[in-house]
Amino acid sequence: MDLEFWDSNIELINREKLDLLQLDRLKKTLINVYENVPFYKKRLDECGVNPYKFSNFDELEKIPFTTKEDLRINYPFNMFARPLNQIVRIHSSSGTTGNPTVVAYTKSDIDVWGDIIARQLFSLGLRSGDAVQNSYGYGLFTGGLGLHYGIEALGAIAIPVSGGNTERQIKIMQDFKPAAICCTPSYALYIAEVGKEMGIDFNNLQLKVGVFGAEPWTDQIRMEIEQRLNIDAYDIYGLSEVMGPGVACECTFKNGLHIAEDHFIPEIIDPSTLKRVERGKIGELVFTTITKEGMPVIRYRTKDLTNLNYDTCQCGRTHARMAKTIGRSDDMLIIRGVNVFPSQIEEVLMKVKEIEPHYLIVVDKRNYLDYIEVWIEVSEDIFSEKMNALEAFESSIEHKLYSAIGINIGVKLKEPKTIKRSEGKAKRVVDMRKGEKP
Ligand code: DLL
C-alpha cells in the first residue's frame, strides 16, 4: 500500500530533530507559564527551574506534576496564560465532586487542534469529499467540537449530528452516505443494535471507518464493532486538560496510538513512586503541552495507564505510540485485596461467543467482604433455554473469569435490552459500596 501523509516533515521526522523541536517549544511554554500563570511561576521558583535557561529534558523531571485538583483550586480562569480577550473558546469537564475543570483555547490553539485531528483522519484514509458523521456530544465536552474542527480542517464534510436520537443517526447514515463515523465505542455498538432492529444491512452502506474513543475499549470490542458495522474501527485518545480528542490516534496498522509529539511530550511514571518507569513499562501517562497558548499544562497526570513504544511504526511515522489504555488508575477495583480493571473483565467476556457486548460490573459488600458480580446480556435464544442450562452457562463464564483474573466474580445472565445503553461515555461499573445504584 502506498502511504500518503498530511505533513510528512512532521510525521516522519527523525528523533534528533524531534528532540530539538520539543526542547525549543518546551522552553517557550515554560517561559509562557512563568510569565503569565502565577501558579506555575511559584512552582518553577520553588523547584529551582529557570525557564530562560532551560536546556535539557532532565530538568523537566524536577518540575512537580500538575493534577486535576490543581485545576480545580484555580477554577475557573486562574490557569489561563492569556488575557480573556485572546481566548476564543472554553470547554469544561463535568466534575462529579467539587468544581469542574475549565480549559481555554486561543485562536491559534483551535487551529492547531484542527490540524492535528485533520492529520489523524487523513492517516485513516479520509479525504476531502468524504462526509464524516460526528456523533460525539457537542457542548462543553471536547469530543463534538474537537472532531468537528478537525473534519473541516481536513476539508471533508462535517455532519454535526451530536449524540442521541439513534434512529435519526441511521437515517443520516443511509441518506448522506458518510465514509466515517465518530462516537464512543459503546455508542457505536448501540447504533449497530438499533440499525439491525430497523432491518439495515450495514454492508450496503458507504461507511468505511470509525473513529472511536473517550472511553476504554478492548480489541475484542473492536472486533464486534467492525463485524457489526462492517467498518475498520480506530482508537482516538485525548483529554480536555491536555487539548481534547486527538492527543493520540491509531493509524491503519492499528498497532498503538501515535501521540502528536510535536505538540505534547509524554512521560510514563510509576503512580506510587512518581518516578519515570523504564522505557516500555506500563505506568501512568503524564503530558506536557508544548504549543498550547491559552492554557498550557506542565506534567499533567492523566491517571490513564499505558506504555509507550518509540519504534518507528510500519506506516513510517516516528512519533511515540501509546498502547490502548488498560483504564484509569481510579477505575481500578480492589476486590479482597486484588486489583482488577474493568478492561480485564471485558476481555474475558468478549471472548465468549454467545453473549452480547452489553455488561455491567456491580461491586458490593456481602458479609463484610467485597463482592463482585457481572451482569451480562445474552441473546433471546440463549435466555429462553432451560434454567439449568443457563446456570451451567453462568458457571462456565465464572470459571473463565477466575482462571484469567484469579478472583471469584459472580455472573448473572440478563435478558436482552435490560442493560442501559450509552450514547456517550458508558458507565460500566456500579460500586454499591459507594452508594451507587445499578
Ligand atoms: O474524552 C476527549 C475525547 C473525546 C477523546 C472524543 C476521544 C474522543 P475527557 O472527557 O476530558 O476528554 O476525558 C478524558 O477519557 O483521561 C481517559 O481516561 C478517557 N479516554 C479518552 N479517550 C480514550 C481512549 C475526552 N481512546 C479521559 N481510550 C481520559 C481509553 C480514553 N480512554
CA-nearest of 64, 66, 59, 47 to 23 is 59
Which residues contact residue 216 at a Cβ distance below 8 angstroms, ignoring those fewer than 6 apart?
324, 325, 326, 327, 328, 331, 342, 343
Q: If pLDDT is split at 50, 70 and 90, which confidence band does 383 have?
A: confident
Say if residues 5 and 11 touch (Cβ distance below 8 Å): yes
* Spatial distance between the Cα atoms of 119 and 7, rounded to a whole number of angstroms: 7
Q: Quick one: cell of 170? A: 441511521
Mean per-residue pLDDT, 151-162: 98
**Residue whose CA is at the smallest distance from ligand 1 atom 14:** 239
* Spatial distance between the Cα atoms of 413 and 379, rounded to a whole number of angstroms: 10
DSSP 63: S
CATH of domain 333-434: 3.30.300.30
**Residue whose CA is at the smallest distance from ligand 1 atom 9:** 239
Residue type, 351: K
Greatest extent of the chain over all pairs of C-alpha atoms, in Å: 74
**366 alpha-carbon distance from chain centroid:** 34
Distance 216 CA to ligand 1 centre (A): 8
Distance 15 CA to ligand 1 centre (A): 27
Distance 237 CA to ligand 1 centre (A): 5
Mean per-residue pLDDT, 340-357: 93
Q: Which of 234, 237, 286 to mutate to test the pocket of ligand 1 (most atoms within 8 A of CB)?
A: 237
pLDDT at 236 over 90: yes
* Cα 192 to Cα 55, 128, 225, 271, distances in angstroms: 52, 26, 8, 38
* Spatial distance between the Cα atoms of 173 and 159, rounded to a whole number of angstroms: 10
**Residue whose CA is at the smallest distance from ligand 1 atom 20:** 214
Using the atom order of ligand 1, give the atom closest to the CA of residue 425: 1
Residue with cell 460490573: 361
CA-nearest of 368, 371, 390, 370 to 379 is 390
pLDDT at 97 over 80: no
Using the atom order of ligand 1, give the atom closest to the CA of residue 247: 5
Residue spans of the domains in the chain: they are 1-330, 333-434
* Cα 41 to Cα 19, 31, 101, 308, distances in angstroms: 25, 9, 20, 30
pTM: 0.97
pLDDT at 1 over 80: no
Q: Which fold has domain 1-330?
A: Rossmann fold (3.40.50)
pLDDT at 95 over 70: no
Identify the weakest region by mean pLDDT among 7-21, 178-192, 309-323, 335-349: 335-349
In the sheet where 369-378 sits, what is the strand order? 410-414, 369-378, 355-366, 429-431
Instruction: Please tell me the predicted confidence (pLDDT) of residue 93.
Output: 86
pLDDT at 388 over 90: no
Mean per-residue pLDDT, 228-256: 98
pLDDT at 94 over 80: no
Q: Quick one: cell of 115? A: 490540524
Using the atom order of ligand 1, give the atom closest to the CA of residue 235: 26
| Ligand 1 binding site (Cβ under 6 Å of any ligand atom) | 93, 136, 141-143, 213-216, 235-240, 244-245, 302, 304, 325, 328
Instruction: Please tell me the predicted confidence (pLDDT) of residue 99.
Output: 80
Distance 302 CA to ligand 1 centre (A): 10
CA-nearest of 283, 239, 236 to 264 is 239
**Beta strands 209-213; 180-183: pairing state:** parallel
